Chain A
Amino acid sequence: MLMNTLKRILGIVWILLGLGAVWYLIYNQAVPLWKAGGESIIPAVIYVFVLCPIIAGSLGCFGWFAWQGEFDE
């Protein structure tokens, strides 16, 4: 019972973590790379259009499932 509660509460943490990771990747990684121009644009685009959706999508979706009790024993 305690474990199930923990799993559900942590679901919110995973959703917030996903959002935080996206903020970090965009402002600390992608934006400086984009400003640098040249070949640095490719990793910037990959951060924004590949990594961010994967991190936000997977952590957000996983967190939502956990919050909904999908991983309850």
Chain B
Amino acid sequence: MFAVIGASSVGTMIEWYDFYIFGSLATLISTKFFPGGNETLAFLSTLATFAAGFIVRPFGALFFGRLGDLIGRKYTFMVTLLLMGGATFLIGCIPAYETIGIISPLLVLLLRLLQGLALGGEYGGAATYVAEHSPNHQRGLMTSWIQTTATAGLIISLVVIAVTRASMSEESFQAFGWRIPFLASAAMIYVSYIIRRNMHESPLFAKAKAEGKTSVNPLKESFGNRYNLKYVLLALLGVTMGQGVVWYTGQFYAMSFIERVMHVPKVQVDSILIWALCLGTPFFILFGGLSDKIGRKWIMMAGMLVAVLSYRYIYTQMYETANVQHKTELTTKTAFSTELKGADSVYTVLKTYTDGTRYSEITTVTAGTRHTEKTVTLTPAAKRTLIFWVFIQVIFVTMVYGPIAAFLVEMFPVKIRYTSMSLPYHVGNGIFGGLLPAIATFLVTRAGAVNDKAVGQGLAAPIDKPYLEGLWYPILIAGICLVIGVIYLDGKDNRVDD
């Protein structure tokens, strides 16, 4: 059983690693493949971000889900592994835009789409494969290892990038070092492929196939059959939609909030996230195992409930940790400087506060256009506070995500399981979760604009704490999902060998 879990988890973790390194290096990659000042390249860059993350994943779920229900779980998730690894390795090999022109970003876009497609097929295969090997009373525990892979993949991507960056000069990293995390994927994928190649097919699928009970048309039976379709919709609206937004809020929106709204430097943000994820990851196993004892439904619903009730409080506490307006400035250490860099005028303000927090504001004026960059460097104590609040959010993630593989697998019959569970999972996570940063940022920006307009007219700002407005999206989606889940899910953990 541990060999099954190990083979499935390692491969899935590497796929997540492959998927995340692109996002983690997005800023640097854009300078290599999508340099600024060109509308077509900006268009391709946005397409690479949106298409791979949101649109292609559900298609991958359908395509590979169908294959998995027709030819088997093992072969299908080996294909997704090789596809992901190959695409990642090749991204690391593509010459920059300045070398081969427009072909370069087009190749990146194509490979990024293949990554999204592979990711869409991988999760359902791994979860189904492990679940179909697990004893009934331990399915939540066994599949929870698969649930740790997304977080582990993110941690490994951050660590590999940090180690690569630390092992060379910044110039070398910018020149070629960024390719190393992509190229390293080939070795990881090869090892995972060797492990998976020696595994046997899922016993339940093998039995169904031997008895001629596999599906002839999994897509039609999954979504064209009213009885099954209602469970697909229930899985999406009553579980994965809320789980997706809780996951993306805890791991990705928290990171973006600390960096962009609180202006904490990227190095500190990555460190905060790595600590919080490392501390939180064992809870996937805890809640997965607990779901075998007290049921999956109520753990997931409790996770959504505490998330909905506490997000605004948590983000207020996080914001206040780095809010220099409430700190006492050491005026003796304040420094101002003005510098001329070619046609640019650069104004720098450096402040230090009594608790040790440092604040810098660099304003660059070019041809009448002002660009201000603020940075709040946290003290170790403030960093620990933020680790705690992100860790709390990761706990919510583990509550909704730990038991979900077992839950989804148990909702659908063997012959259409891969297809039926993959689609709601990737729509819930890829679309409802994946759009969270864009929608939340829009809500924050709009709230800021409303306040600025009112202040400009001499009125009081109508929106208190505009930086919290982005949270309404996950609160609303998780809230609706919670109501649907509580009322419509029957809460029974079903068998998987039907």
Chain A residues engaging chain B, CB cutoff 8 angstroms: 3, 6-7, 10, 14, 17, 29, 38-39, 41-43, 46, 50-51, 54, 58-59, 61-62, 65-66, 70-71, 73
> By the criterion CB–CB under 8 Å, are A51 and B46 in contact?
no
A-B contact pairs, 18 of them (CB 8 A): A6-B487, A7-B488, A14-B484, A17-B480, A38-B42, A39-B42, A39-B43, A43-B46, A46-B50, A50-B55, A51-B431, A58-B237, A59-B237, A61-B229, A62-B237, A65-B233, A71-B234, A71-B488
Q: Contact partner of A54 among B45, B47, B226, B427, CB < 8 A?
A: B427
B39 contacts partner chain A, Cβ-Cβ < 8 Å: yes
| B488 contacts across to A, CB distance below 8 A | 7, 66, 71
Tell me how many residues of B have a C-beta within 8 Å of chain A.
Answer: 28
Q: Contact partner of A42 among B46, B237, B442, CB < 8 A?
A: B46
> By the criterion CB–CB under 8 Å, are A39 and B55 in contact?
no
B322 contacts partner chain A, Cβ-Cβ < 8 Å: no
Q: Contact partner of A73 among B50, B54, B234, B490, CB < 8 A?
A: B490
Interface of A is mostly: helix
Per-residue contact bits, chain B 461-497, to A (CB 8 Å; 1 contact, 0 not): 0000000000000000000100110011010000000
Distance A54 CA – B229 CA, assembled complex (angstroms): 14
Q: What distance in Å separates the Cβ of A2 from its nearest Cβ neighbour in chain B?
A: 11
> By the criterion CB–CB under 8 Å, are A42 and B230 in contact?
no
Q: Contact partner of B230 among A14, A41, A46, A70, CB < 8 A?
A: A70
B439 contacts partner chain A, Cβ-Cβ < 8 Å: yes
| A41 contacts across to B, CB distance below 8 A | 43
State the 7 A-B residue pairs at the shortest beta-carbon distance, nearest first: A39-B46, A62-B233, A39-B42, A42-B46, A65-B230, A70-B230, A39-B43
B236 contacts partner chain A, Cβ-Cβ < 8 Å: yes
> By the criterion CB–CB under 8 Å, are B54 and A46 in contact?
yes
> By the criterion CB–CB under 8 Å, are A43 and B237 in contact?
no
Q: What distance in Å separates the Cβ of A8 from its nearest Cβ neighbour in chain B?
A: 11
| A42 contacts across to B, CB distance below 8 A | 43, 46-47, 50
> By the criterion CB–CB under 8 Å, are A43 and B233 in contact?
no
> By the criterion CB–CB under 8 Å, are A7 and B487 in contact?
yes
| A70 contacts across to B, CB distance below 8 A | 226, 230
Q: What distance in Å separates the Cβ of A40 from its nearest Cβ neighbour in chain B?
A: 8
| B427 contacts across to A, CB distance below 8 A | 54, 58
Q: What distance in Å separates the Cβ of B319 from its nearest Cβ neighbour in chain A?
A: 25
> By the criterion CB–CB under 8 Å, are B43 and A50 in contact?
no
| B487 contacts across to A, CB distance below 8 A | 3, 6-7, 10
Known: A29-B442, A70-B230. 17 other contacts (CB 8 A): A14-B237, A29-B439, A39-B39, A41-B43, A42-B46, A42-B50, A51-B431, A54-B431, A58-B233, A58-B237, A58-B427, A61-B229, A65-B226, A65-B233, A70-B226, A71-B488, A73-B490
> By the criterion CB–CB under 8 Å, are B39 and A38 in contact?
yes
Q: What distance in Å separates the Cβ of B45 from its nearest Cβ neighbour in chain A?
A: 7
B435 contacts partner chain A, Cβ-Cβ < 8 Å: yes
Residue of A nearest to B476 (CB): A21
B438 contacts partner chain A, Cβ-Cβ < 8 Å: yes
Residue of B nearest to A62 (CB): B233
> By the criterion CB–CB under 8 Å, are A51 and B47 in contact?
no
Residue of B nearest to A3 (CB): B487
Distance A61 CA – B229 CA, assembled complex (angstroms): 9
Q: What distance in Å separates the Cβ of A15 from its nearest Cβ neighbour in chain B?
A: 12
Residue of A nearest to B229 (CB): A61
Distance A42 CA – B236 CA, assembled complex (angstroms): 25
Known: A7-B488, A29-B439. A43 touches B234 (CB 8 A): no
> By the criterion CB–CB under 8 Å, are B43 and A38 in contact?
yes
